[in-house]
Copies of this chain bind each other. A is one copy, B any other.
Amino acid sequence: MGELIFIGLGLYDEKDISVKGKEIVKDADIVYSEFYTSHLVGTDFDKIQDEMDVEIQVLDREGVEQEALPIQEAQEKIVIFLTAGDPMAATTHVDLRLRAEEKGVRTKVVHSSSIFSAAPSILGVQHYKFGKTITLPFFEGKESYPESPYDGIRDNKELGLHSLILLDINGEEKKFMTVNEGVKALMHMEEEQSNRVITEDTVVAGLARVGSSEPELRAGYPEDILNHDFGGGLQCMVVFGGLHFMEIESLIAFADAPESIGEE
């Protein structure tokens, strides 16, 4: 009997998969992957394939969503579906898993490192002080910014909570929104809505290449971050609510924040 196993490749490069995940890949019959919902910035397809020491078949959106090739093969075989980051963060993977179970195919999930936990970790701030995660979409070609990201950050701040802000990815075009663009978008939303969610005193952080040995982190006021060079790669942001004493120390020590963030 077959099985469909979703395995996360983790945050950054071909070595962020777990030891368990790599061992399971080695014993599988077929290994699929997709890079249209996300993408490992610190590596390329050949390096992933070399690290796994197996042949990997890359699927496009149609292969996953229409043809559901992994499900067809998993009726009889041990099939792996490898994806960047956490294996179930994308709705399309949850949908694939649901359709597999409907067809009687057994499924498993092998977890990996993910930005949801790594962002608080690398900044040294407390995981349980984060509220809802916010997604900032690309705005080009649209008439106005959506209100939901701004409202989400406001809801979190009203509860004293931090907001992790995931910046849009266009995996097919390998285009990633930058922290600079994200800060600009938030400042623009503030101008439109004027609820004092993103002010000149709001503490924010930009993060690039989390999971690499040289992540670029910078915390401070929006003006400090707006033009900071984060140097490419996948980026995300945090807008802080109330900061605990040790969190302030962490942002100063690990993310080069100005000492003035502790003076309120």
Q: Find out whether the CB atom of A159 lies under 8 angstroms from the CB atom of B130.
A: no
8 Å CB contacts to B: which residues of A170-214?
A: 210-211, 213
Q: Find out whether the CB atom of A16 lies under 8 angstroms from the CB atom of B15.
A: no
Number of copies: 2
Chain A interface size band reads 35 or more
Q: Find out whether the CB atom of A246 lies under 8 angstroms from the CB atom of B124.
A: no
A157: shortest Cβ distance to chain B, in Å?
Answer: 12
Q: Which of A29-37, A56-64, A114-122, A221-229 contacts B (4 or more CB under 8 A)?
A: A114-122
Q: Judge if A112 is at the interface, Cβ distance under 8 Å.
A: yes
Please give, as numbers and ranges, the residues of chain B lying within 8 Å of A97 by CB-CB distance: 124, 254
Q: Which label, helix, strand, loop or mixed, suits the secondary structure of the A interface?
A: mixed
Q: Which A residues lie at the B interface, using CB under 8 A? A: 8, 10-11, 13-20, 22-23, 51, 86-89, 91, 94-95, 97-98, 101-102, 108-109, 111-114, 116-118, 120-122, 124, 126-135, 155, 159, 161, 166, 210-211, 213, 246, 249-250, 253-254
